[in-house]
Amino acid sequence: MWRTGYILNRTADAVWFLALPYAAIAFALACNQWLPAVAVASVTLWVTIPHHFATWVRAYGLSDDRRRWLGRLTLGPILIFATSLIAASYAPITLILLSILWDKQHVLMQQHGFARIYDYKAQTGSKATAKFDLALNVILFGNLFLTSPFFTPLWLRELYRLHLPLSASAVQTIHAVSWLVTGTYLVIYLLHLLWIVHRGQRLNPVKYLFLASSYFLWYFTAWHAGSALVYAIAGQLMHGIQYLVIAYIYTRRRMQQAGDHGPLASLLTWRGGATVFLTAGAFYAVVYQLVIGQSLAEFGFGVVTLQEAYPAIPHLNIGGLTGATAYDLFATAVINSAAMTHYYLDSFIWKVSDAKTREGL
Amino acid sequence: MTAETPEVRSPRSNAWGALRAFRFLLIVYGIAAVAAGWEFVHRDELVDLYLDPERSFADAVGELYPDNPGVHQLRTRQLMLCASLWRSRREMPPGCRQFGGKNILEEARRHFERGRQHGKHIEDLYYDYVQFLRGTGAPQAEIDQAYAEWREKFPLSKRPDPR
């Protein structure tokens, strides 16, 4: 009945795909308890923005894929940036709604994709399982979106803003129908699994543990209605970290298989490739934050802020540090740090007393 | 046609092949275009999420989740609008009439307090509270304490000093 297969290997899957959702929930609850709301922005900067960077590396880093998808890789981003700029002027609510809904479709498709990899690796399920799995993910996530206390006010507000107001009783009807559809489909899915076993085919238990962990995270945090922080942080951690892991492993493996010796491949395929990949992602996040004009203090989970270090002194008529002056102070610190690093390195790299140094002179 | 004969594709099939590559994007933007068209047609009609006499978003979501911190925030906005109408002696919409005069402020304070117990991520509950205290003539020490709480929870906020 069972045949086990892993995306990476037994230990790595246990860490990144099975335990990570629970660790993400624990981290999110801790953030909610002890950190200010800026913790969400910090997780976005440390995880979500670097995971975008991982997409660029994955999509544009492999020469074979660049040739295969040339049109989509060039015209797609141009079209998306152009339409977003136009929509920001003429249909901003649609732009927000599109971004929210596409994000949800994207995260559920990532979990669906991992589920497909599990069946592929273990050679489990039937030909129809892909469609049954897709429907399972769409219905479970759709139900979460339609019925949870976290998402309901969100889509309801946008409907009101689009002049499509719904009464509370109409929303309750939507909730009831959604739960009915979900319950019915879960029975159908169970029958599909029984049918597979009846035909002598196998099931991969790790796939179902993975799906259960993922949906536990989403359902638990979306009903943890007291705080939007918990859903946002836990969801971003699971989605972003799992994506970073698969993007790095896949890109490196493809580069090794293709015998790629380009500059990117040489950085990613050596022993310290993972560190380079993560450091480049963090650097990308810093540049991104500077381009959109936001504070680099958001990296610090609200714990380290220059503004707070220099509060106002009312009896001397001195105001607190503004965002702009705090940035000036930060820039001064960066310039000084670079200079002091130069002083420190020069203190030992030019010693004529060093034999190796003398060889180069 | 034998296996060796190269397939000759018509310009129409080439165009369709190019479009097929973008079919996902076309579906996404096709749906978005309908929503954008709807939004553009209704762009001049203002939506009052708080005090619409027919259907208010704050009332609908308040009925669904009365203890949600986000709902307490919506209620505080709703009540502060009511208070502003009451002070300027303008006609009160049905949503405000259930509260008389000073009751509005007491009700608003109750929602601020309950919302702030669990809604530490909702900046409006902290920022608006400082303004609320200032507007209701609260002691300066209480205003300063509320201000300090807002700055502590939202240290990177770019909003101006609400005092």
The pLDDT assigned to A309 comes to 62
Domain tally, chain A: 2
Is residue A266 assigned to a domain? yes
Same domain, A320 and A227: no
DSSP 8-state symbol, A319: P
Residues A301 and A42: their CA atoms lie apart, in Å, by 5
Same domain, A149 and A200: yes
Could you write out the DSSP letters of every residue in chain B?
Answer: --TTSPPPPPHHHHHHHHHHHTHHHHHHHHHHHHHHHHHHHTTTS---TTT-SS--HHHHHHHH-TT-HHHHHHHHHHHHHHHHHHHTTPPPPHHHHTS-THHHHHHHHHHHHHHHHH-TT-HHHHHHHHHHHHHTT--HHHHHHHHHHHHHH-TT--SPP--
Same domain, A250 and A342: no
The number of C-alpha atoms within 13 Å of A260 and in the hemisphere containing its C-beta is 22
How many beta-carbon contacts under 8 Å exist across A and B? Answer: 126
Is residue B50 assigned to a domain? no
Percent of chain A at pLDDT exceeding 70: 92
- Give the end of a domain, one of A284, A304, A324: A304
Residues 6+ apart with CB under 8 A from B88: none
CATH number for the domain including B126? 1.25.40
Same domain, A85 and A194: yes
Whether residues A161 and B47 touch (CB distance < 8 A) is answered with yes
Q: Please state the φ and ψ torsions of residue A2, each to the nearest 5 degrees.
A: -105, 145
As a whole number, the mean pLDDT across chain A is 88
**What tens digit of pLDDT does each residue of B95-122 get?**
777 766 668 888 899 999 998 887 788 8
Could you write out the DSSP letters of every residue in A267-279?
Answer: HHSSTTHHHHHHH
Is residue A229 assigned to a domain? yes
Closest residue by Cα to residue A144 from A256, A231, A22: A231
- CB-nearest to B156 from A98, A152, A298 is A298
- The larger pLDDT score, comparing residue A295 to residue A139, is at A139
- Tell whether the model's pLDDT for residue A207 goes beyond 80: yes
Same domain, B63 and B32: no
Q: Please state the φ and ψ torsions of residue A225, each to the nearest 5 degrees.
A: -65, -15
Same domain, B34 and B65: no
Same domain, A235 and A331: no
Same domain, B106 and B68: yes
Could you write out the DSSP letters of every residue in B120-137?
Answer: TT-HHHHHHHHHHHHHTT
CB B71 within 8 Å of CB B65:
yes
Q: Which residues of B touch A171 (CB under 8 A)?
A: 60, 64
Residue A92: give the domain boundaries: 10-304
Q: Which residues of B touch A152 (CB under 8 A)?
A: 61, 64-65
Q: Which residues of A touch B45 (CB under 8 A)?
A: 163
Residue A81 C-alpha, separation from nearest chain B C-alpha, in angstroms = 13
Highest mean pLDDT among A49-53, A62-66, A227-231: A49-53
What torsion, rounded to 10 degrees, do the Cα atoms A344, A345, A351, A356 define?
Answer: 150
Same domain, A157 and A211: yes
Same domain, A175 and A217: yes
Same domain, B70 and B133: yes
Same domain, B141 and B82: yes
The pLDDT assigned to A5 comes to 95
Same domain, B37 and B100: no
Same domain, B78 and B130: yes
| Across A191-200, A210-219, A221-230, least confident range | A221-230
Is residue B122 assigned to a domain? yes
Whether residues B36 and A305 touch (CB distance < 8 A) is answered with no
Interface residue of B156, B157, B158, B161 to substitute, partner A, most A CBs within 10 Å? B156
Is residue B128 assigned to a domain? yes
Whether residues A157 and B49 touch (CB distance < 8 A) is answered with yes
Percent of chain B at pLDDT exceeding 90: 16
Residues A65 and A58: their CA atoms lie apart, in Å, by 9
- The larger pLDDT score, comparing residue A227 to residue B12, is at A227
Residues A72 and A320: their CA atoms lie apart, in Å, by 49
Q: At A304, is the pLDDT very low, low, confident or very high (cuts 50, 70, 90)?
A: low
Contacting A with CB below 8 Å, chain B residues are: 18, 21-22, 25, 28-29, 32, 35-36, 38-40, 42-43, 45, 47, 49, 52, 54-55, 57, 59-61, 63-65, 68-71, 118-123, 151-156, 158
Q: At A296, is the pLDDT very low, low, confident or very high (cuts 50, 70, 90)?
A: confident
Is residue B140 assigned to a domain? yes
pTM of the entire predicted model = 0.83
Domain tally, chain B: 2
Q: Does A87 reach chain B within 8 Å, measured CB to CB? A: yes
Q: Does A171 reach chain B within 8 Å, measured CB to CB? A: yes
Residues A134 and A97: their CA atoms lie apart, in Å, by 23
Q: At B13, is the pLDDT very low, low, confident or very high (cuts 50, 70, 90)?
A: low
Is residue A57 assigned to a domain? yes
Q: Does A308 reach chain B within 8 Å, measured CB to CB? A: yes
Q: Which residues of A touch B158 (CB under 8 A)?
A: 323
Residue B34: give the domain boundaries: 11-41
Is residue B5 assigned to a domain? no
The pLDDT assigned to B4 comes to 47
Same domain, A69 and A154: yes
**What tens digit of pLDDT does each residue of A252-271 get?**
998 888 887 777 877 887 78
Is residue B3 assigned to a domain? no
Same domain, B37 and B64: no
Given CA atoms A4, A7, A10, A13 in this order, what sign does their dihedral have? Answer: negative
Same domain, A40 and A91: yes
Whether residues A163 and B158 touch (CB distance < 8 A) is answered with no
Is residue B27 assigned to a domain? yes
Is residue B46 assigned to a domain? no
Whether residues B61 and A72 touch (CB distance < 8 A) is answered with no
Same domain, A220 and A338: no
- Tell whether the model's pLDDT for residue B7 goes beyond 60: no
**What tens digit of pLDDT does each residue of B50-72 get?**
887 777 898 899 999 988 888 99
Same domain, A243 and A332: no
